[in-house]
């Protein structure tokens, strides 16, 4: 059996009419930049996320860059974040001239561990940038508390967490709506993905929204009158049209992801996963995890992954090299051993197929293959 890691074609089959109609409308209008589709998407997503303001931008990476620019973060400033994330999180910090300061992760959730946060704060710190990895919010309660105590701003990297919730004082808050600014990506494989690159910045503060809106069009409030030195980073009308067509389906897709995650949990439990050394995703009680990824921990990860490839099961490793060990960030002075939990996760994690179109048979096959391989461990394992 072949189990693809993601199946965007299957999703498109069900949406063909709506998507083609949306694209056709834009073509007929010949309005490609900051027109009615972008405006409508911004409004719909501000409502969905529960924020006052949403600004469509060219990518999730640009959403991070523009957020940091809007806060005036630059040379000499420090931004505190996790080393276990996609490169763009740290790349955006470097891009504005600031320094990423890493804090190790909570091994249960793979998110920044707030209990390690305070000791990393120096007088140069400006922003805390938590990432809601794999679709589950970082522990925002204590993060916001520390930020407030030290006068720091909070920018959420919610690229993987569209629709995730974190409960504060018994009311659920959407990912992206808790910090000063929240950043999203519409990269095609994200939970809400476009037909190309796209991103979104959200905020509850009008002044910050105004700055991001200016910065995405070279800082010009009126044509050819530039108040800030910005960049060109707009969401295309065509992308907005595609995303508007997909948005009404997002909750249904999310429900399917969650149901499939539960099914994996069940199948692994039936196979006595603990005895095989398999660690399942942990959902903290405050969270609605939207399972952008379903990530397990396994022994002999790379050998298992090759075996799965051979039997037709596509998997991925997010992320094999933590950011503090990336070649281009060596000037920061970090060394192997600095963030043991992130480094351990990088060796053990394996992301399984979890898209909404995944079938029950495919899931059973995936678990069967993993369990079978790990049960036969003595046959192939290196002696240790
Ligand atoms: C996808 C992603 C980004 C970047 O988004 P792009 O739209 O690809 O630029 C940033 N951070 C995280 C955690 C992501 O997963």
First to last CA, the chain: 33
Residue 210, pLDDT above cutoff 50: yes
Domain that holds residue 138: 8-248
Question: Among 216, 248, 280, where does a domain finish?
Answer: 248
Mean pLDDT for the stretch of residues 337-351: 98
Q: What is the rounded CA–CA span in Å between residue 142 and residue 286?
A: 13
Question: Among 233, 248, 263, where does a domain finish?
Answer: 248
pLDDT class of 384 with cuts at 50, 70, 90: very low
**Which protein residue has the closest C-alpha to ligand 1 atom 7?**
60
Residue 175, pLDDT above cutoff 50: yes
Residues of the chain above pLDDT 90, percent: 96
Residue 169: left (phi > 0), alpha (psi -120 to 50), or beta?
left
pLDDT class of 224 with cuts at 50, 70, 90: confident
Q: What is the pLDDT of residue 109?
A: 98
Do residues 234 and 224 touch, judged by C-beta distance below 8 A? no
Which CATH number do you get for residue 154?
3.40.640.10
Question: Among 219, 248, 277, where does a domain finish?
Answer: 248
pLDDT digits (tens, 9 = 90+) for 44-90: 999 999 999 999 999 999 999 999 999 999 999 999 999 999 999 99
Mean pLDDT for the stretch of residues 347-359: 97
Residue 228, pLDDT above cutoff 70: yes
In this structure, is residue 3 part of a structural domain? Answer: no
Mean pLDDT lowest for which of 222-226, 234-238, 344-348?
Answer: 222-226
Q: What is the pLDDT of residue 379?
A: 56
139 and 215 part of one domain: yes
In this structure, is residue 226 part of a structural domain? Answer: yes
176 and 140 part of one domain: yes
Q: How far is the CA of 89 from the centre of ligand 1 (A)?
A: 7
Residue 261, pLDDT above cutoff 90: yes
Q: Which of 20, 8, 31 is nearest to 245 (CA)?
A: 20
Q: What is the rounded CA–CA span in Å between residue 240 and residue 299?
A: 42
Q: What is the pLDDT of residue 380?
A: 56
227 and 344 part of one domain: no
236 and 183 part of one domain: yes
Q: What is the pLDDT of residue 20?
A: 96
In this structure, is residue 12 part of a structural domain? Answer: yes
Q: What is the pLDDT of residue 223?
A: 87
In this structure, is residue 300 part of a structural domain? Answer: yes
In this structure, is residue 2 part of a structural domain? Answer: no
69 and 108 part of one domain: yes
Average predicted confidence (pLDDT) for the chain:
96
Which CATH number do you get for residue 288?
3.90.1150.10
Q: What is the pLDDT of residue 170?
A: 87
Indicate whether residue 159 lines ligand 1 (CB < 6 A). yes
Q: What is the pLDDT of residue 168?
A: 86
Q: What is the rounded CA–CA span in Å between residue 177 and residue 45?
A: 11
Residue 229, pLDDT above cutoff 60: yes
Residue from 6, 57, 59, 61 whose mutation best tests the ligand 1 pocket (most atoms within 8 A of CB): 61
pLDDT digits (tens, 9 = 90+) for 2-41: 999 999 999 999 999 999 999 999 999 999 999 999 999 9
256 and 136 part of one domain: no
In this structure, is residue 134 part of a structural domain? Answer: yes
103 and 234 part of one domain: yes
Do residues 311 and 150 touch, judged by C-beta distance below 8 A? no
Indicate whether residue 60 lines ligand 1 (CB < 6 A). yes
Residue 187, pLDDT above cutoff 50: yes
119 and 193 part of one domain: yes
255 and 229 part of one domain: no
Indicate whether residue 199 lines ligand 1 (CB < 6 A). yes
221 and 77 part of one domain: yes
**Which protein residue has the closest C-alpha to ligand 1 atom 2?**
159
175 and 240 part of one domain: yes
In this structure, is residue 172 part of a structural domain? Answer: yes
Q: What is the pLDDT of residue 381?
A: 58
163 and 283 part of one domain: no
Q: What is the pLDDT of residue 169?
A: 82
pLDDT class of 378 with cuts at 50, 70, 90: low
What's the number of domains the chain is made of?
Answer: 2
């Amino acid at each position: 059996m072949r189990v693809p890691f993601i199946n965007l074609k299957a999703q498109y089959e069900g949406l063909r009419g709506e998507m083609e109609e949306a694209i056709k409308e834009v073509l007929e209008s010949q309005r490609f930049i900051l027109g009615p589709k972008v405006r409508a998407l911004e409004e719909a997503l501000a409502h969905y996320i529960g924020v006052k303001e949403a600004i469509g931008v060219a990518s999730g990476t640009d959403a991070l860059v523009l957020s940091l620019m809007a806060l005036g973060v630059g040379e000499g400033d420090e931004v505190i974040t996790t080393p276990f994330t996609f490169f763009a999180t740290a790349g955006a910090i470097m891009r504005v001239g600031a320094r990423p300061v890493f804090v190790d992760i909570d091994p249960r959730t793979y998110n920044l561990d707030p209990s390690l946060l305070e000791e990393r704060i120096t007088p140069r710190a400006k922003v805390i940038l938590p990432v809601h990895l794999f679709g589950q919010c970082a522990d925002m309660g204590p993060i916001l508390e520390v930020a407030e105590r030290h006068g720091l701003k909070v920018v959420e990297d919610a690229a993987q967490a569209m629709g995730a919730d974190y409960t504060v004082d018994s009311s659920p808050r959407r990912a992206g709506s808790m910090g000063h600014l929240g950043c999203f990506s519409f990269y095609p494989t994200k939970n809400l993905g476009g037909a190309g690159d796209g991103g979104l910045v959200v905020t509850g503060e009008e002044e910050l929204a105004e700055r991001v809106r200016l910065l995405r069009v070279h800082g010009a409030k009126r044509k050819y009158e530039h108040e800030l030195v910005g960049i060109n980073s707009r969401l295309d009308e065509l992308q907005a049209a595609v995303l508007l067509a997909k948005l009404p389906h997002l909750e249904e897709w999310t429900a399917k992801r969650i149901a499939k995650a539960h099914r994996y949990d069940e199948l692994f439990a039936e196979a006595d996963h603990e005895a095989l050394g398999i660690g399942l995703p942990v959902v903290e009680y405050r969270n609605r995890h939207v399972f952008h990824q379903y990530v397990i921990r396994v022994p002999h990860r790379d050998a298992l992954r090759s075996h799965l490839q051979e039997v037709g099961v596509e998997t991925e490793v997010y992320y094999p090299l933590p950011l503090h060990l990336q070649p281009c960030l060596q000037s920061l002075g970090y060394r192997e051993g600095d963030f043991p939990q992130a480094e351990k996760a990088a060796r053990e994690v394996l992301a399984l197929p979890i898209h909404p179109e995944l079938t029950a048979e495919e899931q059973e096959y995936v678990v069967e293959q993993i369990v079978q391989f790990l049960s036969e461990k003595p046959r192939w394992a290196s002696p240790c």
